[in-house]
């Protein structure tokens, strides 16, 4: 799929299994999760622009408090675990 980016969002176990079987993928946020409900995001290694965008966007949402605000507003069970 030249010229396209693929991003997957799933639980940590599924991402680990997928990464083991498809070495061309790469974790977003360095594989770190920000709450105890593990979620991993995988991006193809060659899609560095997508990886950088996601890292910056998520970092901004976390550091600004916006992610926590939305999580509390919509009663996300992991809202209290967001740290910034």
**Contact (CB, 8 A) for 46 and 1:** no
Tell me if residue 82 falls in helix, strand or coil.
coil
Residue 1: inside a domain: no
When comparing pLDDT for 10 and 47, which is higher?
47
pTM comes to: 0.50
C-alpha–C-alpha distance, residues 44 and 63, integer Å: 26
Residue 30: inside a domain: yes
**Domain containing 38: what range?**
7-81
When comparing pLDDT for 13 and 46, which is higher?
46
The per-residue pLDDT for range 65-77, each reduced to its tens digit, is 999 899 889 887 7
Residue 11: inside a domain: yes
Q: How many domains are there within the chain? A: 1
Residue 64 pLDDT level (bands cut at 50, 70, 90): very high
Residue 61: inside a domain: yes
Residue 70: inside a domain: yes
């Amino acid at each position: 799929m030249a010229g396209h980016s693929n991003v997957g969002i799933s639980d940590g176990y599924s991402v680990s299994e997928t990464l083991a079987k498809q070495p061309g993928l790469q974790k977003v946020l360095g594989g770190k999760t920000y709450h105890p409900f593990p979620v991993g995001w995988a991006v193809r290694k060659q899609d560095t622009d997508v990886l950088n965008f996601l890292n910056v966007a998520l970092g901004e949402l976390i550091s600004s408090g916006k992610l926590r605000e939305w999580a509390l507003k919509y009663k996300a069970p992991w809202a209290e675990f967001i740290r910034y």
